[in-house]
């Protein structure tokens, strides 16, 4: 959807049209557009909704209201993931409960799935099946569904309960209570894009299981990080970072101490990691096992210099390494008819004697750079690359 936003106190400033959900690469630009209108505060509801172009008619009730940009973006992300059934459930319950606040609408996205909405009374079997799933948390075994009399279940629902007629169907709330997951400040953790990790920002005075967490999803734009820190309202010296879920290699997660890491260093690492293929991430995991970095910055340097490492995935013995080199490395023309004549172990040992490599859980990895690993991880990657090139040119001369 798209929202046309303005400054209600200064309509002469004009309007800004914001795409929702806001793509990560457009977030900073959208914030800049709103700032030029003197709106878009990190926590205040200062954006006047002039118009809303949306496939969700129930949201037209927001036109004329003032909203917070990040709340509106979060609501759009939640709704963007809904299926056809949830589409009806959300709209029908929003109308039944007459919800208009962003807090309530966001909270409704976490509980509307409990309601049953009938849009077609000609297929009671399907209505009963859907109702059974709704009141059982969306989960049921195939055996349960096969034994279910869907039509009878639907008739019992219709005759035994008072439904509410809405423009989106007849809705039965099934005793649903409006969720309170969102407290008006801390938006619940929700993975929308293919982020690598969700980092929570909380106060060091909060217990480990606190709900008072501001989430930022990496990789993120500079503006997203800055606004998340401002939204948290926590002084820099009291900030503590948490990790919810991670797509980093396990070896990377083990190294990172999120309570002490710098959020910008973590984001730089995520930006580099986001460009790596699955195979390259496997290789990075092995490189981390070998080099033993101590922080996100050092891991990033390894990730940016993976071409300096030779990697044989799945190789855990000299024989497996030798077999990989002969069969899969592309260095040789392998003939399967001569397989029994290859001395894989001997070749693997011979190759290992010529390089500095180790066996890891992911396979054999060897560092082939001119700088020491300590220098590679400590240097600025661009400077390290240039020194590597200078060294090679000097050696050739």
Tokens at 320, concatenated: 């497996």
What is the pLDDT, as a whole number, of residue 179?
95
Residue 213 has pLDDT above 90, yes or no: yes
Domain residue spans in the chain? Answer: 2-68, 82-188, 197-273, 278-396
Summarised one tens digit per residue, pLDDT across range 88-136 is 999 999 999 999 999 999 999 999 999 999 999 999 999 999 998 888 8
- Shortest CA distance to 218 belongs to which of 256, 166, 174, 168? 256
Tokens at 71, concatenated: 């709340």
At residue 395 the predicted structure's pLDDT band, cuts being 50, 70 and 90, is very low
Average pLDDT over residues 156-161: 91
Distance CA 388, CA 382 (A): 10
Summarised one tens digit per residue, pLDDT across range 308-334 is 999 999 999 988 888 887 776 656 565
- The single residue listed with the structure tokens 């966001």 is 106
Average pLDDT over residues 59-74: 96
Distance CA 214, CA 233 (A): 9
**3-state secondary structure labels for all residues of 139-160:** CCCHHHHHHCCHHHHHHHHHHH
- The single residue listed with the structure tokens 């909380």 is 202
Tokens at 362, concatenated: 């992911």
What is the pLDDT, as a whole number, of residue 396?
38
Count the residues in the chain.
397
Q: Is 3 in contact with 18 (CB distance < 8 Å)?
A: yes
Percent of the chain with pLDDT over 90: 68
């Amino acid at each position: 959807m798209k929202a046309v936003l303005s400054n209600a106190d200064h309509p002469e400033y004009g309007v800004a049209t914001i795409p929702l959900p806001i793509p990560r690469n457009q977030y900073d630009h959208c914030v800049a557009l709103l700032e030029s209108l003197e709106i878009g505060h990190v926590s205040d509801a200062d954006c006047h909704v002039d118009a809303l172009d949306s496939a969700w008619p129930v949201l037209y009730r927001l036109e004329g209201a003032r909203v917070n940009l990040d709340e509106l973006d979060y609501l759009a992300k939640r709704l963007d993931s809904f299926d056809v059934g949830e589409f009806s459930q959300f709209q029908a319950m929003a109308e039944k409960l007459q919800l208009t606040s962003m807090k309530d609408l966001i909270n409704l996205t976490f509980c509307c799935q409990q309601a049953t909405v009938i849009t077609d009374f000609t297929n009671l079997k399907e209505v009963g099946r859907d109702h059974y799933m709704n009141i059982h948390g969306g989960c049921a075994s195939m055996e349960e569904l096969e034994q279910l009399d869907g039509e009878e279940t639907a008739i019992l629902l219709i005759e035994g309960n008072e439904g509410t007629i809405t423009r989106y169907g007849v809705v039965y709330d099934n005793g649903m209570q409006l969720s309170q997951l969102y407290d008006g400040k801390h938006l619940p953790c929700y993975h929308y894009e293919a982020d690598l990790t969700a980092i929570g920002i909380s106060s060091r005075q909060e217990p480990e299981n606190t709900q008072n967490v501001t989430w930022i999803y990496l990789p993120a734009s500079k503006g997203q990080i800055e606004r998340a820190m401002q939204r948290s309202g926590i002084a820099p010296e009291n900030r503590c970072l948490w990790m919810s879920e991670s797509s980093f290699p396990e070896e990377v997660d083990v190294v990172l101490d999120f309570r002490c890491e710098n959020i910008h260093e973590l984001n730089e690492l995520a930006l580099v990691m986001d460009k790596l293929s699955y195979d390259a991430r496997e290789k990075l995991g092995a490189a981390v096992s070998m080099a033993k970095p101590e922080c996100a910055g050092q891991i990033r340097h390894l990730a940016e210099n993976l071409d300096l490492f030779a990697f044989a995935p799945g190789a855990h013995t000299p024989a497996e390494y030798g077999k990989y080199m002969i069969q899969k490395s592309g260095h040789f023309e392998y003939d399967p008819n001569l397989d029994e004549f290859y001395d894989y172990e001997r070749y693997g040992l011979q190759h290992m004697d010529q390089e500095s490599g180790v066996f890891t859980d992911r396979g054999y990895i060897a560092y082939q750079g001119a700088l020491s690993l300590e220098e590679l991880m400590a240097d600025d990657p661009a400077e390290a690359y240039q020194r590597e090139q200078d060294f090679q040119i000097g050696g050739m001369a």
